[in-house]
């Protein structure tokens, strides 16, 4: 049995794993797990990841959860170019620093705006009050300024002159609020140029392919979500924004 990657490209971490594997010509079988159909909650998928989350990896009898762990496993197993996760101690520490910070900041605030501006309105059939959306937008802009000042600075990429796992993980997360209709790159030229460089480094066509589904997600209706999950999702998401 070869390498299997269990993914749903609506998910930011899944897109990072997918793009990384594809642009490094890593051979794998794409196992699609449709979150909106509840396929991550099946007994079959629990055999791969008891946490019932994607992405997940199976390599023979070995299974692995969590996107950062999966990305690092792939860099080591397939000996990908050093720039992705540098062997230089301090450059590697910069990648680790960003990956440690981003979960509660770029990911947390970007996901909150996506949920507030798009996902809850799809599930409930009505938009949230404007002040909720404005609040989530403001929170995201605070961490975007931190990202530019602390991590990007005046460098082409987070670690310096070459793309790393940190850049890939960052950009797929930032595409989530873009999918919700908030063009965060419009008034941030430094961020827009960095985005262009990251897309070119991984391949624009591959990047667009990986994001096609999420960028069309605004056209999804609630009836596309498994009925038994609809209310569960709605209650969980409302808790996140209240």
* Domain coordinates in residue numbering, the chain: 3-83, 89-241
Is the confidence at residue 192, as pLDDT, over 70? yes
Which pLDDT value is given to residue 233? 63
Superfamily of domain 3-83: Glutaredoxin (3.40.30.10)
3-83 against 89-241: fold identical:
no
CB 27 within 8 A of CB 2: yes
Is the confidence at residue 232, as pLDDT, over 80? no
In the predicted model, what is the mean pLDDT of residues 63-83? 98
pLDDT one-digit tens code per residue, 204-214: 999 999 999 99
Both tokens of 196, joined, read: 């262009």
- DSSP per-residue letters across 105-169: IIIHHHHHHHIIIIIHHHHHSSPPPHHHHHHHHHHHHHHHHHIIIIIITTSSSSSSSS--HHHHH
Which H or E run contains 38?
Answer: none
Q: Compute the distance between CA of residue 201 and CA of residue 65 in angstroms, rounded to an integer.
A: 26
Classified as helix, coil or strand, 171 is helix
pTM of the model: 0.94
CATH architecture of 89-241: Up-down Bundle (1.20)
Which pLDDT value is given to residue 124? 83
Which pLDDT value is given to residue 71? 98
Is the confidence at residue 228, as pLDDT, over 70? no
pLDDT one-digit tens code per residue, 107-137: 999 999 999 999 888 888 888 899 999 999 9
Q: Compute the distance between CA of residue 104 and CA of residue 201 in angstroms, rounded to an integer.
A: 26
Phi then psi dihedrals of residue 4, to 5 deg: -120, 135
Is the confidence at residue 222, as pLDDT, over 70? no
3-state helix, strand and coil shares in percent for the chain, rounded to the nearest 5: 65, 5, 30
Q: Compute the distance between CA of residue 71 and CA of residue 20 in angstroms, rounded to an integer.
A: 8
pLDDT one-digit tens code per residue, 159-181: 999 999 999 999 999 999 999 99
């Amino acid at each position: 049995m070869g390498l299997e990657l269990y993914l749903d490209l609506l998910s930011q971490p899944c897109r990072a794993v997918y793009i990384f594997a594809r642009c490094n010509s890593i051979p794998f079988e794409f196992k699609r797990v449709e979150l909106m159909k509840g396929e991550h909650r099946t007994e079959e998928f629990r055999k791969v990841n008891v946490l019932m989350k994607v992405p997940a990896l199976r390599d023979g009898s070995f299974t692995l959860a969590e996107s950062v762990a999966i990305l690092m496993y792939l860099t080591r197993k397939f000996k990908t170019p050093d720039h992705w996760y540098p062997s230089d101690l301090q450059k590697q520490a910069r990648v680790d620093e960003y990956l440690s910070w981003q979960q509660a900041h770029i990911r947390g605030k970007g996901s909150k705006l996506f949920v507030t501006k798009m996902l809850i309105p799809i599930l409930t059939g009505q938009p949230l009050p404007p002040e909720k959306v404005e609040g989530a937008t403001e929170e995201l802009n605070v961490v975007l300024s931190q990202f530019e000042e602390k991590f990007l600075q005046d460098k082409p990429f987070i670690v310096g002159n070459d793309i790393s796992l940190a850049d890939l993980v960052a950009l797929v997360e930032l595409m989530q609020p873009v999918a919700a209709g908030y063009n965060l790159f419009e008034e941030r030229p430094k961020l827009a140029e960095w985005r262009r460089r990251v897309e070119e480094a991984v391949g624009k066509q591959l990047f667009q392919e990986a994001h096609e589904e999420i960028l069309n997600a605004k056209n999804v209706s609630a009836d596309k979500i498994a009925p038994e999950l609809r209310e569960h999702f709605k209650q969980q998401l409302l808790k996140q924004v209240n």
